[in-house]
Structure 1
Amino acid sequence: MSLKSDLDYMKDAVSLASTPPFGTTFPNPPVGCVIVSKDGEVLGEGFHPLAGYPHAEIFALLEASGKVESGRLAAAGVMIEQGVSPDKLSLTPSELSTAVASGNLVTSTLLPSYISSGSSMFTSCAPGSTAYVTLEPCSHFGRTPPCCAALKSAGVSRVVIGQRDPNPKVDGGGVKL
């Protein structure tokens, strides 16, 4: 089996970024993330579901750390909990069931824990891995803690970005870390 290339994994991240219906992440852009081990195993995937909720990297880390079965479905579950129609998310019936359960876990338990403890909940869950993120990880505190700190705490050793974040609060800060 041959390992996929950086471009292949970035295409997967772009595909994840296209999951949420248009406008649900405003004023943030849609973002996708795939975390891959040194051996090419996908450890976690995620996308940014809604403004004010954790970013794509956090949903991927929730999966990589074993806190949810699927970061993608957990993000979809958050959207469903917040009133987005499941029909807009193209989920199978079994995925829908997992999404609803994961979304409830994220909003009731994991999100408050992440807000209070930040990156420490991901300590060493993805050592030596590579994160493929469509947009540079945030490096500032906003409504949630900085994603680059969570990636660093998880042991991610390399981050491949699709684009630097033009937001002046970030613009290169996530690249430097």
Structure 2
Amino acid sequence: MRQQDENAMRRAIELARAQHGRTGDNPSVGCVLMSADGRRLSEGATGDGGRPHAEQLALTQFKGKLPVGTTAYVTLEPCRERSTGEASCSNRLIKAGVARVVVSVMDRHPKGAGGKAAIESAGIDIATGFLEEEAAFLYEDFFASLG
């Protein structure tokens, strides 16, 4: 599982890196959805201007119901709340039925932070800090702008 985790998170980081600097005030996030048997189901990165969010895009691009045991690999903690009033990424992952979420960097934004707690309270396994050193550069400017 460790190699699959590394490969999937590195792909998520690659997706986020490709959008870095194109997402307006929002951070560039990458998300990869993987089946329990190691198939890549879908992926996404934060859209130009900051929307849609990576998780939203990856979930929307996958047609049908996610297979049991799906893991979401996300470079930044899935948001707890959206400024637009849309469903948060943490709630989208919960409703989609993911079994596990692997996060690289924890969010410090007041509306973003707390997604981990929402996911945990839904009974979903969540691991944080995975390949954090490789993804941290993506969020330096975003966190600095929070003051």
Alignment TM-score > 0.5, same fold: yes
1:45 aligned residue (39, 43, 46)? 43
3-state SS of the aligned residue for 1:175? helix
1:156 is aligned with what amino acid? V
SS of 1:162 mapped into structure 2: strand
User: Rg bigger for which structure?
Assistant: 1
8 Å CA contact 2:28–2:50 kept in 1: the answer is: no
Deviation at 1:9, TM superposition (A): 0.9
Given that 2:55 and 2:74 are in contact with CA atoms closer than 8 Å, whether structure 1 keeps it comes out as yes
Using the TM superposition, give the Cα deviation of residue 3 of structure 1 relative to its aligned residue in structure 2, in angstroms.
Answer: 8.2
Paired residues of 2:13 and 2:75 also in contact (CA < 8 A): yes
Q: Structure 2 CA distance, aligned partners of 1:141 and 1:28?
A: 11
Q: Where do 1:96-135 residues align within 5 Å?
A: 124-135=65-76
Shift in Å, 1:168: 1.6
Instruction: Please tell me whether residue 141 in structure 1 is matched to residue 82 in structure 2.
Output: yes
Structure 2 residue 98 is the aligned partner of structure 1 residue 151: no
Measure, in 2, the Cα distance between the counterparts of 1:145 and 1:49: 16
Inter-partner Cα distance in structure 2 for 1:52 and 1:164: 18
TM-score, normalised via structure 2 length: 0.72
Larger fraction in strand: 2
Instruction: Using structure 1 for the length normalisation, give the TM-score.
Output: 0.60
Instruction: Count matched residues.
Output: 117
User: Does the aligned pair in 2 maintain the 1:32–1:56 contact within 8 Å?
Assistant: yes
Letter in 2 for 1:166: R
* 3-state SS in 2 of match to 1:19: helix
